[in-house]
Structures are given as structure tokens and as C-alpha cells.
A and B are shown apart, each in its own frame.
Chain A
Amino acid sequence: MVKDNKPLLEVRNLWKVFGVNEENIDLNDLAALEQLEANGAVVAVRNVSFRVKRGEVFVIMGLSGSGKSTLIRCLLRLIEPTSGQVIVDGEDVTAMDEKQLIQFRRNKVAMVFQHYGLLPHRNVLENVAFGLKLRGVSREEREERALKAIEQVGLKGWEKYYPGSLSGGMQQRVGIARALVQDPDILLMDEPFSSLDPLIRREMQDELLKLQESVKKTIIFVTHDLNEALRLGDRMAVMREGVFVQVGKPQDIIIKPADEYVRRFVQDERRMALVAAGNRKALP
């Protein structure tokens, strides 16, 4: 098996419908689906498919409510998909039983959350080592590895502090260290910098890029900030109302937006790019 030709993550026809009795949905029946929506069901993810290669940073971008968080949670089944498949490294995550799923979450993926999700009663060191503790790694080993991760994110010396006494940026560093220490195949990040000040956000983006140079993780990164998407993403998907409206390299999306929605999204960047190219006349 030649691994490099296979995508590390493959998502096939993923759907998530909130607020209905899930067994009885025929997703191919468009009229029935519309009827459900009229009755209050929300189709948060609508037939999404994509592939991500090892080492790639894949950004999912879209406005609030477009289904980004739902999608990224479906990848490790924090939210149970209504239908479709998630395949990681050849294994069908959607077919796993509870035990396999827990092993998958412990070993293959790690997630960073917008609101950090740190344990307030544990100090930085214990928070970073949390995943290893769940795995049953010995105290000595997990502290050693946690210390390394803490150093990687620039928090050396803060091991004994509690999350409540750290700034937002520092808390998110802890969140990132907690994910890195797992040495996961895939790093999932759901708007990790969105609740930080613009300056700190920028700093964290730079550091993530630097970190990525050394760790070379496969990253799925969710954001609603185009700038962030452009800076971080190798490829990006633009999401609207549960659908991937365009997937591609950031530059391609700016230059050739697939529709009006994407065009509006990338307008400012587009203007700048064209100005830089000395092509003012092409402006709308």
C-alpha cells in the first residue's frame, strides 16, 4: 500500500440534520428534506465530501452558522453524522464502535477549541498531560512529554499555574500544547484564535506556522476570518449553509470565486491582489 497517494482524511457525502428523528430521513428526497426544514429541522452539513493529504493545512471558512463547527465535530463524532463516511488513514471512523472510537480519539486526532475547554482545577502541566493520562501513560512519562510540549508553545515556567490565572492567548497555548503532546495524525482546530485580540491572534498565527514547520501535522482549521485562512491554509473550502461552495488553493479562490457568495467574501483581498498586480482596471 502506497500511503502517500492515499489521502489521510477522506470525507464522503457527509450530512448532519439537527432536530428530527434521524432514522427516518431519506436524504435523497429533496422535497421531503425541504418539508423537514420547514418543520424546524436544520441541515447543518449538506452532502460534504473532501480529501486531505498528510501534512496539509486544510482551512474551512464560512460565516457564522454555516456549519463549520458541526462538520469538524462530525470528524471525531463529537456530533454523530446523520449519514456519510469519515475515513482516516484507511479506517472508517463512522463504522467504529464505542471502544474503537475512544481509541481513535486518544491516538489519531486531537482537537483545539475556541473556548479552550481547559480543566479549571488542574494546572497547566496537568492540563497538557490530560490526554496522556486518559491513555494510561505513566506519570513520569506524561510529565516529561507535557513539559516538552509546554516548551514548544512558549509556556516554559508556567507549568504550575492554573488556567484561571492565564490570559486568553496563554490558555489557548495550553490548548495547543494539550493537542500536540498527543502526537496525533490530525489536528482539529475550531476557531482557535477567534476569541483573542487581533494582535495576539496574529502572533498566534505566526507561531502556529512556525510550529507547523517543525511538527508537520495534518491540520483541519476552521475560521470565519479570510485573512487567517489565507495565511494558514494550503487549501481551503468556503462553506455556506452546510455546503462546500468552493474548494481550492487560496489564491485560486481569490482570483476565480465560484459564485457571488464567495466573490463577496474575498472582495477586499481580491482588490488588494489586483492592485498589487497593477491591474486596477479589472476591478468591479
Chain B
Amino acid sequence: MFPDALQFHIASYIDNFVKWLQISYGATFDAFSNFLLTILLGIQNALLLIPWWVWVVVVTGLAWWQSRKIFTALVLGGLMMLVGVFELWVPAIETLAIVITSVIISLVIGIPVGVAMAEWDRLSVVITPLLDAMQTMPSFVYLIPALMLFGLGKVPAVIATVIYAVPPVIRLTDLGIRQVSATVQEAARAFGATRWQMLKEVRLPLAMPSILAGVNQTTMMALAMVVVASMIGARGLGERVLLSLNRIAIGNGFEAGFAIVALAIIIDRLTQGVARRWQPPQTN
């Protein structure tokens, strides 16, 4: 066995630190937490207000608009419908609300950070290893800091999801901007573009396909994480899976798992379609 003399715990120090944080900044955390929760519930209630058949029609319509394929459109609409058939409509909407909130926050943070990384090389030297670390760590790890600061519930779920899902959009924004043709940028510079004009008129629009690919990946990762985050009290489909696991209710677990996959496919298809539509046109 490991010698007693060498054993040492930092757990109590961490607990104390967190306690200190909560005492000193408790009001700030609470305000932040309430703010997030308000947004989240607002989104959730709005989503729940929409009748189920509107959802099915909208999903089918969007899928058709993007793919121009009847089959794809019907399959996606059918998947949406099945979620309701399995009596998982409300948990699916709850999950969706957390995903949407997390994705919005991820984009609000991620796109500017990605732009800044592309503009300032030094920043990218600092942030790149951070992103590498974030992506190699197992997703469970992110539950801990979120839990420490915000306890159980939907808010820490959103925080953990944002931490887990934000790297792809940062990376792909940075990458997309760096890949913008040097010839085009030189031409813009020759015509007197300021740094801001260069970003707005040339770099961002030309990086858009890459940025949207990042949005797609971020969304998919958010969905994956929301399922994991059910362990710290995010309700929704993940919770259903978790409950089924605990009760060894294989059938129920399958249904909930199926609903997650259905959401994933729908979200993936729809966001990918948007990305494709943004490619610079080759013909008129």
C-alpha cells in the first residue's frame, strides 16, 4: 500500500476555497445564475408554446428548403414526430432549450475569441493549448467546476455545456479567417481597407463557411454534453436515460436514446444545410 506519510489531501482546501468564493461573491453568482435561468426558461417556454404539429411542419419545411429532397424532409419530420409518439416531447424541448441557450452563449464568446486569435498571433499562442486541453479532457470533468460554483440544476448544466462546446467554434473561426486568400486580402489592402474594413468586408464573409461548420460542431457537442449534464440536474432526455439506467429499464432507455439521436440528426442536418448555403456562388 501507499505509505501513510506521503498521503495528503487537497480536497478540504478546495472546499474552503469554494466556500470562500460563495461567501464573497455569492450575490454575483446568484445574480448571474438568475439571469441565465431567466433566459433559459424564457426560451423553454417559448419552445413549449409552439404546438407540436408546427414543429413537425417547420422541421420538414426547413429540411426541404435546404436539401430539396422530399425523402430527407419526410425522414426529418418523421423523426420529430416520433419523439412525441414516445411521450418524450417535454423532455426533448427541455433538452433543446438548454442546447440553444448554451449554443448562443458559446457563439457570443467563441466567435469574437476566434476572430481575436486570427488577428493577434500572440493570443493564439496562449489560447490554442487551452483549447487542446479542453478538448482532451473527458466531459465529466466539466461538471465539477460548474457544480462547485452553481450547485445542482439547469444553470450549471449550461455552464458545463458551454465549456465543453465552445472550442470548435473558436477553432474554426480562427482557422477560417487564416485561410482567407492572401491575394484577396492584399487587393483589399491596396485599395485602402482599414483593419476593421478588412475584417468586415473580406475576412469574416470569406471565413463564413468555416465559422458555420464550427457552429454545427458546437451545437452537436452541446447536445452530447446536455445528456451528460443530466447528472448534475439538467432535466430532459438525458435524465430519462439516466433514470432508465438506474432502473435497468432497457425499453425506456432505448426510447430516450432514440429521441436524443433523432434530435441530433435533425439539428445536424439543419445547421449543415445553412453552412452549405453560405458558400460563395460559382454561377449566377
Contacts and interface: CB of A to CB of B under 8 A. Distances in A.
Interface of A: 76, 78, 102-107, 109-111, 113, 115-121, 130-131, 133-135, 160-162, 164-165, 178, 182, 188
B194 A102 contact: yes
A113 B186 contact: yes
B191 A162 contact: no
Contacts of A164: 280-283
A98 B280 CA distance: 32
B284 A113 contact: no
5 contacts: A78-B186, A113-B186, A117-B188, A165-B281, A182-B191
B284 A117 contact: no
Contacts of B181: 117
Interface string B160-199: 0000000000000000000001011011111111100100
B283 A117 contact: no
B159 interface: no
Given A119-B184, A119-B188, 12 more contacts: A76-B190, A106-B192, A113-B190, A118-B187, A119-B205, A120-B280, A134-B188, A134-B193, A134-B194, A134-B197, A162-B280, A164-B282
A131 B192 contact: yes
Contacts of A102: 192-194
| Listed residue (A115, A117, A118, A162) with the most chain B CB atoms within 10 angstroms of its CB | A117
B281 A110 contact: no
B231 interface: no
B183 A115 contact: yes
A70 B184 CA distance: 17
B284 A161 contact: yes
Nearest to B281: A162
A44 B258 CA distance: 64
Which of B187, B191, B197, B284 is most buried by chain A, counting CB atoms within 10 A of its CB? B191
A116 B194 CA distance: 20
Closest 5 CB pairs of A and B: A117-B187, A106-B192, A105-B192, A120-B280, A131-B191
Nearest to A188: B190
B201 interface: yes
A152 to B, nearest CB: 18
Nearest to A120: B280
A78 B192 CA distance: 10
B283 A162 contact: yes
Nearest to A184: B191
A51 B270 CA distance: 60
A117 B186 contact: yes
B191 A134 contact: yes
Contacts of A117: 181, 183-184, 186-188, 190
B283 A165 contact: yes
Contacts of A161: 283-284
A178 B193 CA distance: 14
B270 to A, nearest CB: 22
A227 to B, nearest CB: 26
Contacts of A78: 186, 189-190
A166 B150 CA distance: 57
Q: Which of B190, B197, B205 has the most CB of A within 10 A?
A: B190
Contacts of A118: 184, 187
B280 A121 contact: yes
Contacts of B193: 102, 134
Contact of A106 (B186, B191, B280, B281): B191
A130 to B, nearest CB: 6
Contacts of A106: 191-192
Contacts of B37: none
A128 B192 CA distance: 14
Residue from the set A76, A103, A104, A188 with the largest chain B CB neighbour count within 10 Å: A76
B205 A121 contact: yes
A130 B181 CA distance: 17
B105 interface: no
A119 B183 contact: no
Given A78-B190, A113-B187, A133 B281 contact: no
Interface string B219-255: 0000000000000000000000000000000000000
